[in-house]
Amino acid sequence: MLNRIKQLEEAASVLEPAAAQRSNMFRQVGLHTETFLEGLPEGKTFVAGDDCSEQLDGEFAEGPGDFMQLLESSRTALDSEGINAASGGHMGYIPGGGIYPAALGDFLADIGNYYAGVKFASPGAVKMEQQLLRWMADLIGYPATAGGDLTSGGSMANLTAIVTAREIMGVRAKDIEHSCVYLTEGTHHCVDKALRAAGLSECPKRVIPMVSGCRMDEHAFQQQLEADQSAGLRPWLVVASAGTTDTGSIDPINEIAQLAEKHSLWLHVDAAYGGFFILCDEGRVRLKGIERAHSIVLDPHKGMFLPYGSGALLVKNVTWLAQSQAFDAGYMQDTKAAEGFYSPADLSLELSRPFRGMRFWLPLKLFGVAAFRAALSEKIWLARYFHERLEKTPGWEMGPYPDLSVVTFRFIPKHHDINSFNALLVKAVLEDGRVFLSSTRINGKFVIRLAVLHFRTHLKHVDYMLDFLQRKAVALDQLEVLTGMEKHIETT
């Protein structure tokens, strides 16, 4: 038996490379990432295609691979097609971030493999996460009772919020058909997914109309609320968006909070996109009243420019979260913290989870808050600049002046169908590939949208976009038929 164990130990020993091998791998990764980063300014933001199969050998062999070769094949598979989410040209959907020290933070967290689920295992990691949550709670203006959890993203944070609301509001299975939920067309679809996952699909869902500017119509909300109450139903949850994904619009939070308080509803604010704009003056005025929410979702992988995998949930009273999430397992008995102390696992659907604090703490401490404040302010001004420039150019129909950093617009062609013309315009941007944007439908209209949130997006990217759109729109509108478009794109 001992021989067998020794043999196995020997065979498994490659799992722990020696110091020289490690530093060689580290150096190779350093060179690899430098090549990537140095290539960003001149590179493309989007390349169409879905065929990286050539580069990715599908076999997982018994024997070892070559590190350099693996880096090379991952480069071709990952970097030759699709959206380059690290590029400043990314102005589609809601761009994510990827600031450098966050990656180093992940590296440090992963090398130590700190167990951030319970304080007993890694008090330092838990403390770091709690400091970050406290910092966010202070930004919002939440009281000392507040708490929260660092999640994998906005969707998981919204799900946790909905489950918490359900538990604290006492919505039981037998109540569901009478328990009304209020949201708008602009509410992110992950809230629908969360309602479904939380077993709440059968709650009557009231999609409150939006007024101009794509914000919830608070009067319509009030009317619906009162009608439902008169009909013997129980309104229990309203979801406000602080920055809708479609248009970046912010619902009238104060007015909604007023009604929620009066009628005893849980107010959840989905600020996954817009929440961190509270750091800058231009954003703070728009987010007034957000501290009145029972729960708030923020996405540090959006507004704090972290790489994907960072969301956050804040609740005004941490005991709500604990009541809805905490669980006692026999085998966890040694890890119990003092009464009144909540470890992340007590406040989360997760138990073992990545130590998410390090990727957030390191950049925030290293760069300081002012740098983030400036970057967020810059994004707002870039969106305003884009809106103002295009508004002054004939032919363009602009959506609402941006609340934050999303601009919607379309070109009104002289000779073509508006919707298909604008779809072609988006296609032209994608085929060019230097910059990237996306589109949406608002009241049945095809609308182009620009979302400025990447920390690498600056004036030159926005100017490129403006110039490209204008040139392309004019050129396309002069064409008699819009087929043969591909050729046209190649030659102009």
**Per CB under 6 A, 311 contacts ligand PLP:** yes
190 is a site residue for ligand PLP (CB under 6 A): yes
The nearer residue to ligand PLP, 97 or 413, going by C-beta atoms, is: 97
- For the bound state, the minimum distance from the C-beta of residue 236 to ligand PLP, rounded and expressed in Å, comes to 20
- Whether the CB-CB separation of 241 and 404 falls below 8 Å is answered with no
Q: Which of 270, 249, 269, 272 is nearest to 260 (CA)?
A: 269
Among 122, 130, 155, 247, binds ligand PLP (CB under 6 A): 155
Question: Does residue 325 bind ligand PLP (CB under 6 A)?
Answer: no
Q: How far is CA 185 from CA 36, 258, 401, 443, in A?
A: 39, 21, 19, 10
Give backbone dihedrals phi and psi of 441, rounded to 5 degrees, phi first: -120, 125
Q: For residue 46, which amino acid is it?
A: F
CA dihedral 126, 128, 133, 137 (to 10 degrees): 130
Stretch that binds ligand PLP, among 58-66, 169-177, 238-246, 441-449 (CB under 6 A): 238-246
Interface characters, 93-132, with ligand PLP (x: CB under 6 A): -x--------------------------------------
**H-type helices in 100-178, by residue range?**
100-112, 123-140, 154-168
Least distance (Å) between residue 299 CB and ligand PLP: 5
Q: How far is the CB of 36 from ligand PLP (least distance, A)?
A: 23
Q: Does 303 help bind ligand PLP (rule: CB under 6 A)?
A: no
Cβ closest to ligand PLP, residue 98 vs residue 153: 153
**Quick check: 257 binds ligand PLP (CB under 6 A)?**
no
What mask, x for binding ligand PLP by CB under 6 A, covers residues 366 to 395?
------------------------------
Give, as one character, the DSSP assignment of residue 409: E
User: Could you say whether residue 154 binds ligand PLP (CB under 6 A)?
Assistant: yes
DSSP 17-72: --HHHHHHHHHHHHHHHHHHHHHTTTS-SEE-----TTTS-----SS---HHHHHH
Go through 219-228 and write b for each residue having 16 or more CB atoms within 10 A of its CB, e for each that does not: ebbbebbeeb
CB of 183 to ligand PLP, least distance (A): 11
CB of residue 310 to ligand PLP, shortest distance in Å: 8
Q: What are phi and psi of 259, to 5 degrees?
A: -70, -40
Q: Is 153 in the site for ligand PLP (CB under 6 A)?
A: yes
Binding site for ligand PLP (CB under 6 A): 94, 153-155, 158, 188, 190, 241, 243, 245, 270, 272-273, 299, 311
